[in-house]
Structure 1
Amino acid sequence: MLTVETRHAIDPATAKTLDTDGLRSHFHAGGLFAEGEIRLVYSHYDRLVMGGAVPGKGTLTLDHVPACGTPSILDRREMGILNIGDAGTVSVGGTDYTVNKGDVLYIGMGSGPVSLSGNARFYILSAPAHRTCPTKLIRIEDARRVEMGSAETCNERVILQFLHPEVAESCQLLMGYTQFAPGSVWNTMPAHTHDRRMEAYLYFELDEDQRVFHFMGKPEETRHLVMANEDVVISPPWSIHCGAGTGAYTFCWAMAGDNVDFTDMDMIAMGDLR
């Protein structure tokens, strides 16, 4: 079963008029992981598609997505798939890939339908592509590791980069995830923007009663969204994106836009945040 929800892009002047429900209707996505289903969100910010697939005891096939306007989703797109559950299998282009927990499979444009099976929880990301890059399975040990932060500032963390120019070639999709040391809760602080590309966060490995406060909006007038386990937030190019949780957690970040330069950020001074 496939369901697709479309989210339209809005400008910062409109966003500042929204109440909590209004903000969540535009930028928050929950309930994406349901057994026996593929649930996608199609965002008009850089046309990024994000969603979840939980095969359970059967096999799910991702092929025609009406919102994309092509016979098959990968006809003019690339895709990254992160497994946040038990080991599963992704079949594409006549090849079966065993994707373990924490691994990422990159799938190049024109690869055809994607079949998913096993007791996995697949997080799916897809962006428009203008060329084909090789399909590649990236194991955790093959990711680029960047250690940042400290216990003193409550942000000791490791950034694992999978779809990154030094790890796996992609057209425009960047993807990885960040894990926190016990006692650390702050991500991406000091905050930044990158007007040349949008971003999406999947927050996961949270306890049932744990929450992350995700901060968004213009630097001089911030807002927040309360995120639960396996919730996704859409971050527009004009918005900051940072967060703090009630305990350690993991979040998957993905970007689409004009470049694949992970360091292309416009930093915001702490004193400029309001």
Structure 2
Amino acid sequence: MHINYNNNPKDAKSYDTDRLREEFLTEELFKQGEITLVYSHIDRVVAMGISPSSAVLKLEDFVDNKAFGTDYFLQRRELGIVNLGEKAEVRTQNGVYVLEHLDAVYLGKGEQDIEFRALEGDFAKLYCLSAPAHHTYPSRTILRSEARVVELGSLETANDRVINQYLHPDVLPTCQLCMGVTHLKPGSVWNTMPAHTHERRMEAYLYFNVQPSQVVFHFMGEPTETRHIVVRNHQLVLSPSWSIHSGCGTQNYSFVWGMLGENQTFDDMDFVDMNEIR
């Protein structure tokens, strides 16, 4: 488990490329036959990349519960999972959840004996976010077709995109975790521009559908002290609440966004005037 500590925006101004990548980027989240955990002190978020094969991966085999001060991982947490690969299965002591490509599942506080298995070859890739939770909501599958769909942007501004809201108050109740998937349409490369911050919530971006010869420039930092990180396929960026989070690709791409913090109001954003961003 990699531990990521919180950062002061005044300190981040002095980071060079290597330090920015070390603090905010996870380059290799998915390793075949393993569960990779990134634990961040930014709102106590945990990100996981799970690459099961036909052999079962048991979550507790990869989690040091002493690090969380609990008897099991979801004793005081909730978990959202999006399947970025082929058909996979998630099992708990209470149920079995079969996920096709881009289906999701929510596991509520108290779930135990969590296992993962690939159902079609070795191509399952399960991306997970976990947040602290103090109430138990029912676990359930959210099919790709059940996500709330919002279309934003335009081709003229190169940000024509489709937002699929999976873990969202209009879809199902959670304690604080929100997750969804955004797809940019061909010819569009910008996400979240004009940029914004939201001091009430942190955000995590997991980029995918980035072709091998392409990259995404993820912009971060305070609005008047912007920086960028070059991101490739299946790489994760953690964004503190004080930072903008925007990307521009060399081609269209997709990303899983996840938020946790004080509220779940999707459009609670502090927009940055284009005349002020630097």
> TM above 0.5, one fold?
yes
Q: CA RMSD in A?
A: 0.8
CA offsets 1:136-167 (integer angstroms, 9 cap, x no match): 10001110000001111110000000000000
Partners of 1:145 and 1:161 within 8 A in 2: yes
Once the two structures are superposed, the pairs formed by residues 18-167 of structure 1 within 5 Å of their partners are 18-63=15-60, 64-66=63-65, 67-118=67-118, 119=122, 120-167=124-171
Q: Is the 8 A contact 2:155 2:187 kept in 1?
A: yes
The 3-state SS of whatever aligns with 1:270 is: coil
How far is the alpha carbon of 1:95 from its aligned partner?
1.3
Counterpart-to-counterpart distance in 2, 1:215 and 1:37: 30
CA deviation after TM superposition for structure 1 residue 69, in Å: 2.1
The equivalent residue for 1:179 is 183
Paired amino acid for 1:189: M
Report SS of the residue matched to 2:96: strand
Q: Which runs of 4+ in 1 moved over 3 A?
A: none
Give the AA of the match of 2:6: A
Q: Work out whether 1:248 is the aligned partner of 2:255.
A: no
Are the counterparts in 2 of residues 35 and 56 from structure 1 also a CA contact under 8 Å? yes
Rounded to whole Å, the distance in 2 between the matches of 1:217 and 1:182 is 28
Aligned-residue offset at 1:211 = 0.4
Query: Whole-Å Cα distance in 2 between the matches of residues 207 and 262 of structure 1?
Result: 29
Give the TM-score of the pair, scaled to structure 1.
Answer: 0.97
- CA shift, 1:210, in A, is 1.0
State the distance in 1 between where 2:68 and 2:126 align. Answer: 20
Structure 1: unaligned runs, 5 residues or longer = none
Bigger Cα displacement from structure 2, 216-225 vs 65-74: 65-74
Q: Is the CA contact 2:206–2:256 (under 8 Å) kept in the aligned structure 1? A: yes
Question: How far did residue 65 of structure 1 move?
Answer: 3.2
Distance 2:275 2:245 in 1: 16
SS of corresponding position for 1:162: strand
CA distance in 2, matches of 1:117, 1:259: 33
> More strand per residue: 1 or 2?
1
Q: Is 1:169 paired with 2:166? A: no
- Counterpart AA for 1:52: G
Task: Give secondary structure in 2 for the equivalent of 1:21.
Answer: helix
Give me the whole-angstrom Cα distance separating, in 2, the residues matched to 1:115 and 1:126: 16
- 1:21 Cα deviation after fit: 0.7
- After TM superposition, give the deviation of residue 94 of structure 1 in Å: 3.2
- Identity among equivalent positions (%) equals 50
CA deviations over 1:178-207 (Å, ceiling 9, x no partner):
001101110011100000110000000111
Q: What secondary structure sits across from 1:25 in the alignment?
A: helix
In the alignment, the residues of structure 2 paired with residue 127 and residue 93 of structure 1 have an alpha-carbon distance, to the nearest angstrom, of: 20
Corresponding residue pairs, total: 271
Q: Distance in 1 between matches of 2:47 and 2:226?
A: 24
Q: Take 2:178 and 2:264, find their aligned partners in 1: how far apart are those partners?
A: 6
Question: Aligned partners of 1:92, 1:175: CA distance in 2, in Å?
Answer: 21
Deviation at 1:114, TM superposition (A): 1.1
Distance 1:65 1:83 in 2: 24
Match of 1:122, as an amino acid?
L
Contact 1:214/1:243, CA 8 A, preserved across alignment = yes
Residue of structure 2 equivalent to 1:222: 226
Output the TM-score relative to the length of structure 2: 0.96
Alpha-carbon deviations, 1:72-97, whole Å to 9, x = none? 11000000000000000000133111
The verdict on how the C-alpha distance between 1:196 and 1:211 changes in structure 2, with shifts beyond 3 A counting, is same
Contact in 1 for aligned 2:94/2:111 (Cα 8 Å)? no
In 2, are the aligned partners of 1:79 and 1:126 still within 8 Å (CA)?
A: yes
TM-superposed CA distance for 1:29, in Å, is 0.5
Is residue 82–residue 124 contact of structure 1 (8 Å, CA) maintained in 2? yes
Instruction: Note the C-alpha offset of 1:51.
Output: 1.7
Q: Tell me by how many angstroms 1:177 deviates.
A: 0.9
